[in-house]
Amino acid sequence: MKSQIVIAIDGTSASGKSTNAKLVARALDCVYVDTGAMYRTLAWYCLRHRIDVQDARAVAGACRKWKAVLHCVDTGSLRAARLLVDGYFPEKEIRTAEVSAAVPHVAAVPKAREWMVKRQRECLQFGNLVMEGRDIGTNVFPETDFKFYLDAQLEERSRRRAADGVRENLAMRDQRDSQRAVAPLMVPLGAKVINNSNLTSEQTSGLIIAEVRKRLADK
């Protein structure tokens, strides 16, 4: 890859965004960016400091005050961009049920999304990116030539969540994400849509990798 690129992977909950984004990042030697983890980190911070996540002004204020900085870590098999708070990444804490319940409220705050988009775009300082989320191709990097949208049948996505030990109403989450006033979940213009209901992670990531390499070769 001679010039810097951003591979945007959007999609519904439990459509395999994280797993496939990591596989693609490893295969193409890119930095992996989990934007969902960034919103989770903000939600964790708000809960920790007793900030009402349903108070948009309070959440916006937290974005102005908290000491959060981007950092790129190399785990040996994967390079990843993370949002550190006071030098700490709450890797386990942001995956609790309490944080999961708070995330949608935080993510719906316009000022919070504005703050996050700036940080996400700043990840370019780390090099080529594979960025996964719900508004990468539509809002964070709409100019990228590498847009992918993952989806799967609701029954299959619910099965995946249950296999991970997570109980979540995905139909309600889909509706909430798609009807959000700011940066709603939608298929980005020009994105390649992949329904992986009957595909393995290796097959799904293989389709993305092959498409990226083809487009790079055609440039």
DSSP 146-205: EEEEEE--HHHHHHHHHHTT----HHHHHHHHHT-SSS---PPTTPEEEE-TT--HHHHH
* Co-location of 123 and 137 in the same domain: no
Gap between the Cα atoms of 183 and 135, Å rounded: 6
As a whole number, the mean pLDDT across the chain is: 92
| pLDDT score at 164 | 76
- Cα gap 66→206, rounded to integer Å: 39
Residues 146 and 103 in one domain: no
State the pairing for strand pair 79-85/68-74.
antiparallel
Q: Which of 87, 110, 127 is the C-terminal boundary of a domain?
A: 127
Is-contact 8 147, C-beta < 8 A? yes
In degrees and rounded to multiples of 5, residue 3 shows phi and psi of -110, 155
Based on the domain organization, do 174 and 146 belong to the same domain?
yes
Per the structure, the count of domains in the chain is 2
Same domain membership, residue 162 and residue 108: no
CB atoms under 10 Å from CB of 56, counted, come to 16
Looking at the structure, tell me whether residues 137 and 219 fall in a common domain.
Answer: yes
Q: Which of 97, 112, 127 is the last residue of a domain?
A: 127
Q: Which amino acid is at 195?
A: N
Q: How high is the pLDDT of residue 1?
A: 42
Residues 23 and 63 in one domain: no
What was the pLDDT predicted at 56? 97
Q: How far apart, in Å, are the Cα atoms of 171 and each of 14, 155, 157, 174, 187? A: 11, 10, 10, 5, 17
> In terms of domains, do 54 and 80 share one?
yes
Confidence tier at 186 by pLDDT (50, 70, 90): confident
Quick one: 48 and 113 in the same domain? yes
The verdict on 123 and 82 lying in the same domain is yes
What's the pLDDT tens digit per position in 78-109? Answer: 999 999 999 999 999 998 889 988 998 999 99
Residues 16 and 46 in one domain: no
The domain spanning residue 8 has which CATH number?
3.40.50.300
pLDDT tens digit sequence for 29-74: 999 999 999 999 999 999 999 999 999 999 999 999 999 999 999 9
Q: What pLDDT sits at residue 60? A: 97
Is residue 55 domain-shared with residue 120, that is, in the same domain?
A: yes
Residue that is last in its domain, among 101, 127, 153: 127
Residue ranges making up the domain that contains 42: 37-127
68: nearest Cα among 115, 7, 32: 115
Q: What is the pLDDT of residues 102-160, one digit of tens each?
A: 998 999 999 999 999 999 999 999 999 999 999 999 999 999 999 999 999 988 988 88
145 with 123, same domain: the answer is no
